[in-house]
Amino acid sequence: MSPSETVLVTGASSGIGAELARCFARDGTDVVLLARSEDALNDHAASLSDTFGVATHVLPADLSMPGVGREVVDRLDEMGLTVDVLVNNAGFGTRGRFAVADEQQQLDMIGVNVSALTHLTRLLLPGMLQRGRGGVLNVGSTAGFQPGPNMAVYYATKAYVLSFSEALAQEVDGQGVTVTCLAPGPTETDFANRAGMNNAFLFESGAAMSSAAVASHGYEAFRRGDSLAVPGLSNKAGVFATRFLPRSVASKVAAYLHGDE
């Protein structure tokens, strides 16, 4: 019998993260669900253990807080949990001009989308390498492939996630551990609402995928050990096109698609 597996999913209280946790649980993986909304995490944990019979744990945390990565790992140790798979999914975006954007919110975005993702990976990857199994699934975005005027920090954080993940995938190659970057395009979650972009062409055009379809695409890619997963034909075509467009043009297209405030 193969040893049991535990996954830590950040941003598991809703959207893509909640669905990614479901994918792992469906295959018998025990899950640790992390986000700020403790009630939503408890509800999801109960539903996953009832449906799939896996062990579930809830770890409420605010990933925008400096040093939170270390606190999370300390709490995992206290709970006696070994994380085989880390899913860095928590993230958010805001729309608007950088020069007038809420200062703290921009820093928090880097905190959640970049710093916490990097710190958790740094703390949990060595154990995976030592055991020679497991891996990291980072949720980036198609936003990571070009600059995004009026969402400048969000696009930059996702460019970081893409670059960081692809570099790590090569570093760990051949050691039993894999790193995957899931880069979704518009997806039906709370993201657009929280980012204040429900009226953006990207989300109004009907092109948004369901969070279940996006998660399942990323999960399968992770299980295959792919370094990059772009779900959906139109997202794949968009990413492919950015290779040939001058970056100044690609960033104008991005600005048009997500719109101004």
* Residues annotated as catalytic (active site), given as ranges: 154
Q: Specify the residue, 35 or 137, whose C-beta has the smaller distance to ligand NAP.
A: 35
Name residues contacting ligand NAP, limited to 4-63 (CB under 6 A).
11-17, 35-37, 61-63
- Phi and psi of 90, rounded to 5°? -55, 135
DSSP state of 244: T
Task: Please say whether the beta carbons of 93 and 154 come within 8 A.
Answer: yes
Task: Please say whether the beta carbons of 245 and 215 come within 8 A.
Answer: no
Give least dist CB 133 to ligand NAP, A: 25
Give least dist CB 132 to ligand NAP, A: 28
Three-state DSSP state, 2: coil
Give least dist CB 37 to ligand NAP, A: 3
* Cα 193 versus chain centre, distance: 17
- What is the distance between the alpha carbons of residues 157 and 130, in angstroms, rounded to a whole number? 29
Read off the amino acid at residue 129: L
Q: Specify the residue, 35 or 159, whose C-beta has the smaller distance to ligand NAP.
A: 35
Task: Please say whether the beta carbons of 246 and 146 come within 8 A.
Answer: no
Compose the 114-153 pattern: x for residues touching ligand NAP by CB under 6 A, - for all others.
-------------------------x-x------------
Near ligand NAP by CB under 6 A: residue from 24, 164, 191, 219: 191
Residues that bind ligand NAP (CB under 6 A): 11-17, 35-37, 61-64, 89-93, 112, 139, 141, 184, 186-187, 189-191, 194, 211
